[in-house]
Every structure is written in C-alpha cells, then in structure tokens.
Amino acid sequence: MADIEKTIHTKENTICIFGTGDFGRSLGYKLLQVGYNVVFGSRSQDSTPLLPKGVEIMDYGEAAQRSSIIVLAIHREHYYFLTNLSHILNGKVLVDVSNNQKVNQYPESNAQFLAQLVPNAKVVKAFNTVSAWSLQSGLLDASRQVFVCGDDSNSKRLVMDVACRLGLTPLDQGSLLVAGELENYALHLFPMWRLPFFISIGLTAFFFFYCLITDVIYTSIKEGKDYSFLIAVSITNRVFPIVSLTLLALVYLPGIIAAFVQLYRGTKYRRFPHWLDRWMLCRKQLGLIALGYAFLHAIYTLIIPIRVYVRWWHNNYLISQVRENKTYEELNTTLAWYSDIYMSLGILGFGLLILLGITSLPSVSNAVNWREFHFVQSKLGHVTLLFCTAHTLIYGWNYFFDIHYYAWCLPPAGTLSLIIPCTVLVLKFFLITPCIDRKLTKIRQGWERSPKHRK
C-alpha cells in the first residue's frame, strides 16, 4: 500500500497543462484544489500573477516530462510546435480541450488533427463542453457532463478519473471518430429542438393567417366593421389551442406509423426510414412545446372575463335585454352541460399534460423504471390526447361541421385542427384491438413472418 501511495504522489498525480489562457488557468486552479500537482508549459516562463498559487511554470518540453497527462489548452492553430516535442510526447496522454468558432470549421476534428501531428501520443478529446468560468467559480450551473472520446481506452480511463475527481460526470462517447461531433456539440444551440420549433412556428403562422382570414377579414367585410382588435387575444387564443392539439397528435403519430410499418413488414429487425427515426427522436420536444401552447391557451381563456371587449359586449347585451323587457329566462341545461363538460375535459387534459411534462424532467424520468416510463408517456399520453380532442370536439360540436359558419367555404380553423388527432386516435383504437395487438406484441418480442433476411 505504501508503494502505491508513493506512485500516486509522483507522475500519476501530476498534470501538465500547455497554455496559460483562461481555460488553462481555471483548470489548473481546480486541479490544485482537488489535490493534483500542476505544471504549466508555456513559451515564456514569466510567472503571471493570474496563475494559481502553487503551480510551476516551465518550458513545454520540461513540463511534458513531468506528467503522463498533458492538457492542451491552446488553439488548434498553434498545434504545429508539438511536432518538435514528439519524442517527449511519445506514449503520453494528450487531452484536446479545444473548440472551434463554427460548426465543421475544419475538414477533420481538432483532436484527429492532433493525432496526425503526434501519432505516437494517445489523444483524448475531453472537457471541451466545460467553460473556464464555471470551472473557476465552482458554480457548475450548466452541464457537469464531460464527454470523452479517444482510441485508447486506458488513456480515456485516466482522463475520466481526473474528471471524476473534479466532481464532473465523464461520459465515454467512443473512439476519436466522434471528436468532431463533440467539438460541434459545444457550439450547439438546442439541435433537438430545431425541428419541433420550426414545425410549431410554421403551424402557428399558418393557423394565424387562416383565422385572420376567416374571423377578422371575412367578418369585417361582411359586417362592414373593423374587427382587427380581435387579433391580440381572440385570434391568438384560437391559434394556440389548435397548434397545441396538433403538436400533441404529432407526438403520437410516429409511434402509430412505426407500428403499421412493423405489421406490414412482419418484423422489427429492419430500420425505420430516416424521417421516421428523426421524428421519433423529437417527440419529447414536440410534447413540451404542446404543453407550452396549452399553458398559454389556459391563461388566455381565464382572462376572458376581464377583457375590455368582453365586458363591453356583456354590458350591452344586458342593457339591451332590459330595454327589450326580456324577463326571466329558463336555463338551457343542455348548453350548461355542454359548456361544463368541455371545460372539464380541457382542464383534465391540461392537468395530464402537465403530469407528462413533469415526468419528462431528467431527474424524474431517471427515478422511474422502464415500465413506469412507458406507462406514463404512452398510456397516459394517449388518454391526454383523447381528453384534449374530446374537449375540442365538444366545444365546436355545433359549428365545426355547420356550413353556415364557413367563411368563403373555409371551415373554422378548429375543424382543421381535429384532423390529425382524430386520425391518430382512430388508428390507435385499431391497433389495440386484441387480434392486432397480439400480432404486434409477437413482432416486438422478436417473432418474424419471414426470417430469411437475418441470414
């Protein structure tokens, strides 16, 4: 044991950092804190007051000899000098932490470029998603994840151990081939959200102009009055629920298409078409955007009674009733039932949607087992869609399908919004009929109609 301790205190416990820029200094500071010895390699060995106390600074070659792990905190453009050190770097672990300014800036990744420059060193890509600021301030509010890749698994392991000791979470991503991906990752801005975002923007724009035509322009022309004041809330609150329902249906549509593809092919052992794969990977994001729209719809609905327009309309209605000597009127209980039921369905659907959103929080979904996750996201999800569709259907029952409400032959926007959800629900009902369900389960457990392709 004593021997092991001695070893750890020498080379294994020393880390060399090339470059005294922001990132190098912050990393050095943090490494010192958790008990490593840190040596800096630099062109000029003037100890700047910004370097953490307790480190040594020397020329590149000397520094490299002190440690088996060398962190390159320098820009890719300055990598060329390393070729002169190749005899010293032989067999060392070179940690490439660099990022670029743009996605795919160079033909090969910085780490692969480095591996070509110093072929005898073991290059590991790591730490490029960690910011200098968060290292130094200790406030790791953003990601604690350190993506690591490299061709030599022992070198990766050594680097992952360093990350662990720094209180970070290393994640092995495979060979150096994925380094380009990791370098792009740091430049990413919600890549998984891009497609769902554009889909929702597109849907919002489409339905906004559709409602503008049917509800504002058509009515203004017909009645010869300016109804543009409806845009800010009334039209918005018509567009939001429509987009929300459509997005929610788009969450469950790919799963149904996938089931039909599997039923048709009679096997699960063939890849889905690329577009279906991509669609399935962004279901969570589609669902969360649907929740956002539903939330806005809920609040826009709740402010109805305090809107100036609504109060004006209501007051005028009452005054005109009084002036026309209207008397006590029986309650239309059917209408009362209608209104209460579609509101109840909407509230329950919204509540379930929030539940789905909460279970998709990383810390919650990490705490459930696979069966529970599937139960919530699939079973409860379809029930949510059912509730929200029923909410819309009952709300518009009397005028969605009545030709008198059609403006220039255009059905109300709500009618359009029902197409995808109803399709999804009908197909789902078909899929859960016992005989189809049995077949699908068999396929998903590995059964194949004609297993020839596996040969």
By CB under 8 A, tell whether 233 contacts a second copy: yes
Among 44, 327, 433, 450, binds a second copy (CB under 8 A): 327
Among 45, 105, 136, 143, binds a second copy (CB under 8 A): 143
Q: Which stretch binds a second copy (CB under 8 A): 105-113, 299-307, 405-413, 429-437?
A: 299-307
**DSSP secondary-structure letter at 232?**
I
Among 103, 201, 205, 361, binds a second copy (CB under 8 A): 361
By CB under 8 A, tell whether 190 contacts a second copy: yes
By CB under 8 A, tell whether 144 contacts a second copy: yes
Other beta carbons less than 10 A from residue 255's beta carbon: 20
By CB under 8 A, tell whether 435 contacts a second copy: no
One-character DSSP codes across 295-333: HHHHHHHHTGGG-HHHHHHHHHHHHHHHHTT-------H
Write the binding mask 109 to 138 for a second copy: x where contact by CB under 8 A, - elsewhere: --------------------xxx--x----
By CB under 8 A, tell whether 404 contacts a second copy: no
Cβ proximity to a second copy: between 220 and 422 the closer is 220
Cβ proximity to a second copy: between 347 and 426 the closer is 347
Question: Between vectors from CA 217 to CA 343 and to CA 289, what angle results, nearest 5°?
Answer: 45
Among 13, 45, 105, 219, binds a second copy (CB under 8 A): 13
**DSSP secondary-structure letter at 407?**
B
Distance CA 78, CA 74 (A): 7
CB of 21 to a second copy, least distance (A): 7
Sequence-distant (6+) residues with CB within 8 A of 177 are: 112, 149
Task: Please report, as a single letter, which amino acid is at residue 379.
Answer: K
Cβ proximity to a second copy: between 8 and 221 the closer is 8
By CB under 8 A, tell whether 33 contacts a second copy: yes
By CB under 8 A, tell whether 181 contacts a second copy: no
Cβ 185 vs Cβ 129: under 8 Å: yes
Distance CA 90, CA 85 (A): 9
Distance CA 369, CA 296 (A): 32
CB of 306 to a second copy, least distance (A): 5
Which tokens go with 199? 């889909």
Q: Which long-range contacts (CB under 8 A, 24 or more apart) does 225-231 make?
A: 229/309, 230/309
By CB under 8 A, tell whether 281 contacts a second copy: yes
Count of positions on this chain that bind a second copy (CB under 8 A): 120
By CB under 8 A, tell whether 383 contacts a second copy: no
Question: Between vectors from CA 128 to CA 126 and to CA 130, what angle results, nearest 5°?
Answer: 105
CB of 50 to a second copy, least distance (A): 6
By CB under 8 A, tell whether 266 contacts a second copy: no
Distance CA 56, CA 16 (A): 10
Which secondary-structure segment (H or E) carries 161?
helix 153-165
Which secondary-structure segment (H or E) carries 149?
strand 145-150
Distance CA 417, CA 392 (A): 9
CB of 132 to a second copy, least distance (A): 10
Residues 58-87 that bind a second copy (CB under 8 A): 68
Among 35, 61, 119, 202, binds a second copy (CB under 8 A): 35
Sequence-distant (6+) residues with CB within 8 A of 298 are: 350
By CB under 8 A, tell whether 302 contacts a second copy: yes
Among 113, 338, 399, 405, binds a second copy (CB under 8 A): 338
Residues 146-175 that bind a second copy (CB under 8 A): 153-154, 156-157, 165-167, 171-174
